Amino acid sequence: MLLVSQIREDFQRCLKGLEKRNFPNAETTLNKVLDLDRARKDTQTQRDKIQAESNSLSRQIGGLMKEGKREEANAIKEKTSEIKGQIKDLEEDYNQIEISLRELLYTIPNIPHSSVKAGKSAEDNEIILEKGGKPVLGASKLPHWELIKKYDIIDFDLGAKITGAGFPVYKGKGARLQRALINFFLDEALAEGYMEVQPPILVNEDSGYGTGQLPDKEGQMYHANEDNLYLIPTAEVPITNLYRDMILSEEDFPIKNVGYTPCFRREAGSWGAHVRGLNRLHQFDKVEIVQITHPDRSYEVLEDMSSYVQGILEKLELPYRVLRLCGGDTGFTSALTYDMEVYSAAQERWLEVSSVSNFETYQANRLKLRFRGEDKKSQLAHSLNGSALALPRIVASILENNQTEDGIKMPKVLIPYLGFDIIN
RNA sequence: AGAGAGGUGGCCGAGUGGUUUAAGGCGCACGCCUGGAAAGCGUGUUGGCGGCAACGCCUCGAGGGUUCGAAUCCCUUCCUCUCUGCCA
């Protein structure tokens, strides 16, 4: 969430930023934050004053009791009982104000970076780069949902039987392709200096709040009721939360983690056209990169992460483009997001395969993720993450783009991982 | 899952209702001393919030409660260890 100090000291920038996102009633909302914060301070000042008085009286009673001056002590006791009610009232006021303030802040998204253009939807995103030629396929080209049946490598019906729609079963060379991609992505990240982690794929409520999935996207996560745990929608959640409630030292930077996990998304209400086959699933595999950085370096790091992801796409020989998301399409918690899309030649569509974002202090504030700099003072770090990469749409485009009459040719870079070079 | 024991600052560790306003030690930082170092001595050392400041409030796993006053008593909850059970 945003810092109140950000809103107070940089009101105009916050306001303009929210307007870029088409956030309704931005000015009223920001002013309400400032009002609540002022009320919070006033109430605290009053509460502290009375609390101090009460503490002092209690200490006096302690002293008198020790000296055996029971009557004097009892006289003071009466005074303190009066104050007690006042403290309780002020305490309740304070808590109420704090809750209202926090709940209000939860509803306000991150302020977009200055390079982010105003816009309402995906149509307003800027294409900043396009690379690789689109393959030309013959008239017999098939979309991936046909190809997977033809070669019997991914089975949606079986998945539906044992679990439900959107939970495919990968079989034979399909399963091996998954495993190869995961290993390839992890090895690439290791070579880039990321440390591999294997986090739990269920997380508690605190972690959900830490990275901002809660309360914003409650309905999008599967919830294990009995134990109040959430299935992760992305490895961003457990990996970033590793650093929750921490004060790092500056030498710890840069923190670079990579992890492979399955991801689970309920995708409530988002089914329809364009989501056939692998385009949208309830369970999918993803390798995620996360960095925690010094605020001065986070945008440099964002560019590094973006070009790193582009490098993988080039190695896989997939045509791709990079978008800078507009205000309206940028995720709630992000200040700047690049989306990478690969071209899927049979569907003749661009498919999003990665999203690389800088959250600045938005997550760090909730996470209480700080570091101590040269001046020994603690300040919030910046957090970033990106998919590197999400598997299903990569698989879709590999299958579609590389189909030939003899079968589906595998990208060269994967052959050592696969142990075969064609699916036929 | 059952029984028992625990959770105190960067770390170890004392602490069963009132100078604990968290002892003592280790570590770390700074200063004195020294030719330099070690030792010794001194000072400082959780985090958050409020206040121009002096200073104040909160913080002993977390959340409630009892009390004029809680690290200490009560309730709830999370976690760790030991034993038993179950199990890849």
Does A168 lie in the same domain as A42? no
Q: Report the candidate in A224, A226, A230 with the shortest Cα–Cα distance to residue A207.
A: A230
**Could you tell me the CA-to-CA distances from A416 to A175, A202, A308, A343, A409 in Å, in that order?**
15, 33, 21, 24, 14
Q: How far is the CA of A382 from the C1' of B11 (A)?
A: 29
Lowest mean pLDDT among A71-85, A257-271, A283-297, A380-394: A71-85
Within 7 Å: CB of A36 and strand B? Answer: no
> Of all helices (H) and strands (E), which one includes residue A257?
strand A255-264
Does A60 lie in the same domain as A18? yes
Which nt is closest to the CA of A64, judged by C1'? Answer: B18
Window A79-108, strand B contacts by Cβ < 7 Å: 80-81, 84
Window A216-255, strand B contacts by Cβ < 7 Å: 247
Query: Which residues, at least 6 apart from A188, have a Cβ–Cβ distance to it below 8 Å?
Result: A311, A312, A315, A388
Compute CA A416 distance to the chain's CA centroid, rounded to the nearest angstrom.
33
Q: How far is the CA of A53 from the C1' of B17 (A)?
A: 20
- Model ipTM? 0.88
Within 7 Å: CB of A65 and strand B? Answer: yes
Q: Flag whether A212 is in a domain.
A: yes
Does A343 lie in the same domain as A248? yes
| Chain B positions with a protein C-beta closer than 7 Å | 18-19, 21, 47-51, 56-58, 68-69
Does A134 lie in the same domain as A90? no
Q: Tell me, what's the pLDDT at A270? A: 64
Q: Do the Cβ atoms of A305 and A289 come closer than 8 Å?
A: yes
Residue whose tokens read 């991801």: A263
Q: Do the Cβ atoms of A333 and A362 come closer than 8 Å?
A: yes
Does A371 lie in the same domain as A285? yes
Domain of A76? 4-106
Does A358 lie in the same domain as A223? yes
Q: Tell me, what's the pLDDT at A235? A: 97
Per-residue pLDDT reduced to its tens digit, A151-182: 999 999 999 999 999 999 999 999 999 999 99
Q: In which band, very low, low, confident or very high, does the pLDDT at A301 lie, cut at 50, 70 and 90? A: very high
Which nt is closest to the CA of A48, judged by C1'? Answer: B57
Q: Do the Cβ atoms of A299 and A364 come closer than 8 Å?
A: no
Q: How far is the CA of A406 from the C1' of B48 (A)?
A: 66
Within 7 Å: CB of A378 and strand B? Answer: yes
Among A81, A106, A131, the domain-final residue is A106
Query: Which residues, at least 6 apart from A131, have a Cβ–Cβ distance to it below 8 Å?
Result: A310, A314, A319, A320, A321
Within 7 Å: CB of A54 and strand B? Answer: yes
Does A188 lie in the same domain as A129? yes
Q: In which band, very low, low, confident or very high, does the pLDDT at A308 lie, cut at 50, 70 and 90? A: very high
Spatial distance between the Cα atoms of A102 and A107, rounded to a whole number of angstroms:
9
In chain A, the number of structural domains is 2
Q: In which band, very low, low, confident or very high, does the pLDDT at A263 lie, cut at 50, 70 and 90? A: very high
CATH code assigned at A97: 1.10.287.40
